[in-house]
Amino acid sequence: MSTTTKAFGDFVDSATMLDLMELAEFTHVMPGTVLTWVEKGELPKGEAQIRLLHYLDAGRCLLNELKELPKPAYKLGQLIAFGLLTMDAARKALGYANQTDLFRLLRGSSLQADRGQILTRLIADNQEQLNVVITTFREQRQPRPQRSAPFQSNNLSTKILSSTVMGGVDFLHTALDLVDLQADEVSTALQLTLAERSRIERLITRLKVTI
């Protein structure tokens, strides 16, 4: 098993641009926000944190923080992270007045008997679908076959990420969206200025991706 900080660091050290974009989508944040987590060395809070924990855990990192939770809290976190239950729906179903109490539950706080029964039913009703979603998630994140030569060396080290963040979050949003496009597709896909196009090309070159 691993701590969240170590698991996230290991993920970043071997991550590709596509991996980071997928993580941003899974945690419901912008790609530049993921890079900010790396640059500042801080993990997110709130719902994004719950989603990040289960993203790493489902990738077989086996996080200490999650494995030490009571099983109902762990399962509820999975249901929320994998989109089978929203935070608000979980809060209403369990009869909480606000999400603060729900976060306490997700972090291991004890449940009253009646809420425990409700949560047990929620988990049972969604367990089969959850199994399918997690299996699909893991299958899609098996090691990818090597791409053709122009795109082979697309790994992002923490050092590269940190230096790239300094270029500005707005630019990162554009670069992350465009990095997997061929250079001639960039010209026609968006009306970029010459300066913007040049900055994207320099970024891709620094990532050792030939365009």
Asked if residue 69 and residue 8 are part of one domain, the reply reads yes
CB-based burial, 120-159: b 16+ in 10 Å, e otherwise: eebbeebeeebeebbeebeeeeeeeeeeeeebeebebeee
pTM of the model as a whole: 0.69
Residue 211 inside a domain? The answer is: no
- Per-residue pLDDT reduced to its tens digit, 182-206: 344 444 434 445 554 555 555 555 4
Asked if residue 189 and residue 106 are part of one domain, the reply reads no
pLDDT of residue 38: 80
- Per-residue pLDDT reduced to its tens digit, 56-91: 998 877 788 898 899 999 999 999 999 999 999 999
Q: Where are the alpha helices (DSSP H) in the chain?
A: 4-13, 17-27, 31-40, 46-56, 64-67, 71-81, 87-94, 99-106, 113-140, 158-165, 169-178, 183-189, 194-206
- Per-residue pLDDT reduced to its tens digit, 100-110: 999 999 999 98
Domain hosting residue 195, numbered range: 149-206
Asked if residue 198 and residue 132 are part of one domain, the reply reads no
Asked if residue 131 and residue 36 are part of one domain, the reply reads yes
- Split into its structural domains, the chain has a count of 2
Residue 24 inside a domain? The answer is: yes
Domain end residue (candidates: 140, 164, 195): 140
pLDDT of residue 11: 86
